[in-house]
């Protein structure tokens, strides 16, 4: 059971890191599009920002539920 707990912790870290990185890149793209008055780049940046935030929340909220699933 320790193995599954460790795998879940690593998976949580990877998913949260990927989501946070995607959100940061989205924020940069949004700010760049805003400063250049480029609506398309702002839209893409906001999509990346929201998508990254969603992935981050999945890492925090849903991945730990896998630990409960494997402990049964």
Write down the residue that tokens 């760049």 correspond to: 32
More confident residue, 63 or 50: 50
User: What is the average pLDDT value for the chain, to the nearest integer?
Assistant: 91
Note the pTM of the prediction, 2 decimals: 0.84
Residue 70's pLDDT is 73
Largest separation between any pair of C-alpha atoms in the chain: 54
Residue 58's pLDDT is 93
Domain count, the chain: 1
Which residues form the domain of 31? 2-71
4-33 confidence digits (pLDDT tens): 888 889 999 999 999 999 999 999 999 999
Could you tell me the pLDDT band of residue 1, with boundaries at 50, 70 and 90?
Answer: confident
């Amino acid at each position: 059971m320790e193995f599954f707990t460790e795998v879940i912790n690593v998976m949580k870290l990877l998913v949260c890191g990927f989501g946070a990185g995607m959100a940061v890149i989205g924020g940069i793209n949004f700010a760049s599009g805003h400063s250049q008055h480029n609506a398309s780049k702002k839209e893409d940046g906001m999509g990346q920002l929201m998508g990254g935030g969603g992935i981050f929340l999945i890492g925090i909220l849903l991945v730990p539920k896998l630990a409960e699933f494997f402990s049964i």
